Chains A and B, each alone.
Chain A
Amino acid sequence: MKYLRIKAILLQESFLSFRSLEIIMDLVFFPIMSIIVFGFLSIYLSGFNNFSIGRGVLLGMLLWQVIWIVQYSVALGSLWNIWSRNLSNLFVTPLTVREYIFAQAFSGILKMFIIFLGSSVVCFYFFNFNILDIGIANLAIVILNLMLFGFALGLVILGLIFRFGTRIQAFAWGILPFFQPITAAFYPVSVLPPFLQNVAYTLPPTYVFEATRGILNGLPMDMHQMSTALLLNIFYLTLAIISFDYNFKKSKESGQFARNEG
């Protein structure tokens, strides 16, 4: 992997991010608005019901953004190039697909940190919720796990976009909400019907949300849940890489990759 080629994609991402209202709305406005809505909801729930439930809901929204931003960045970065008929231009340079994906992932992580920081500050100043209460080391493990899941999902969607083109572009922003109720981001898994609980426990974020809510309730970090999440993430990431490689190869065989021009 060459540093300058990765830098090129990062530069393109930064130029585009600052000049596209759509990206600013998706990655800054909507997350902050969600935090504000969930912040007030948490105040409401804390006042009339249970303090920890209110904080749990806000925590769920804050952590959900980690998955959302990483997945969105990895999957959507290529769509901007496809819509502009520029994707072929990038891949007729010495740029390799590994470098491209690494750059997109790195860009997603950078964006995630910036937005997570902003959202955390809003939570702290306006809703009296400090994410650091769960502990810095715990937070690092939580974020790592959620990032890995977001990246794996983004990679699968990117492979599908390369293979099937803009016909399935809605997956880039439409797939993730499917996982929100199943992974129990805002409530305990026990709320779900039994068959959905089984599905929920096949997904890494479920363990992460459960373990983090536990910390808010005064329990120590459940390392068993976190390591289960990590192992599942490694499994899903492996599948995502295999799936991406397969779809990328198929898109070059079918000619779709070259035709991916809006």
Chain B
Amino acid sequence: MVETVLEVHNLVKDYGSFRAVDNLSFSLPKGKIVGFLGPNGAGKTTTIQILLGITSATSGKISYFGKDFIKNRSDCLQRINFSSAFNDLLGRITVYENLVVFAHLYGLKNPKKKIYELLDHFEITSIAHIKYLDLSTGQKTRVNFAKALINDPEILLMDEPTASLDPDIADKTLSMIEDLKKSRELSILYTSHNMDEITRICDEVIILDHGRIVAQDTPLGLTKMIPTAQVRLTFDNTKKVVEEYLDKHEFTYEFESAHSVLIDTEEKLIPKLIFGISKTDIWITDIDVIKSSLEDVFLHIARRKKT
């Protein structure tokens, strides 16, 4: 049985008459990355803030490692950490000084050793005595990761850690998160509105909208919520031959050019379609299968809600 490190039951957060988090229940299994996906205002950040104790919930229960968070705040926070693109460290003091403060906050016995271990791990030892304010964005990201690991957390809560990073640094950041998960068996709760990121690193995805869970599954499982796919065929024949075949078999399609057509079909019918076409006189030069992405799932859910 998979060990659960975080359990959330019926979490509600109201700001006056506005409900930001609506009866949220989920769990975080040990060693897994669970992604919170949703548009701005979906309640992702508010949920993270409640899970960290810096915003109070209207109702609901949070347990870390089987312990009630409200009653055991310090014990729980000792075993978790947090990283966000929206937070920084003190700019006027050096990287080392910032990390020394956090090492003491977590009660580390040998702060210097731990800090240099982390600086080594992230290859930033050379900037230890530089003021945080003077670092590049990439260096700041690494320092923030060092801070987030200073207490050897068992759970890491990450609020859009790649927001405002350029694509190269964002990619390196994601690689670091993947490495951390593997090397430390970290459990990570990861919020983002970037579908590609979530697909890449998460074991399970929770889609939030207006504070509610509207879908929850593995990234692959979620994409299967939309059974249709598209097949792009490129061919050498005249358009008419292809058109006749597709009409005869009642496919929905759209010609993109004289030698390219986009066919809508159910994912399970794709082999049959290709096999069928191969038995005709149509000379296929290229086949491209376009499956649904998490973005399609999200849009599908959002549109279904509206209708």
**A residues neighboring B (CB under 8 Å):** 2, 4-5, 7-9, 11-12, 15-16, 19-20, 80-81, 84-86, 88-96, 249, 252-255, 257-258, 261
Contact = CB atoms under 8 A, between A and B. Distances in A.
Contact of A84 (B73, B90, B102, B103): B90
9 contacts: A4-B107, A5-B105, A8-B102, A85-B88, A89-B87, A93-B102, A94-B75, A95-B105, A255-B15
Contacts of A19: 92-93, 131
Given A5-B107, A92-B54, A80 B77 contact: no
A20 B133 CA distance: 13
Given A15-B90, A20-B92, 13 more contacts: A4-B105, A16-B93, A19-B93, A84-B92, A92-B77, A92-B80, A93-B77, A93-B106, A93-B151, A94-B74, A96-B73, A258-B54, A258-B55
Interface residues of B, number: 38
A120 to B, nearest CB: 29
A86 B92 contact: no
B53 A12 contact: no
Contacts of A16: 90, 92-93
A85 to B, nearest CB: 4
Given A16-B93, A89-B82, A258-B49, A4 B54 contact: no
B78 to A, nearest CB: 5
Contact of A255 (B49, B97, B151): B49
B91 interface: yes
B82 A92 contact: yes
A85 B87 contact: yes
A127 B172 CA distance: 63
Contacts of A5: 104-105, 107
B118 to A, nearest CB: 16
Contacts of B84: 88
Contact of B106 (A91, A94, A261): A94
Contacts of B78: 94
A4 B107 CA distance: 6
Contact of B81 (A4, A9, A20, A92): A92
Nearest to B91: A84
A84 to B, nearest CB: 5
B114 interface: no
Interface string B105-135: 1110000000000000000000000010000
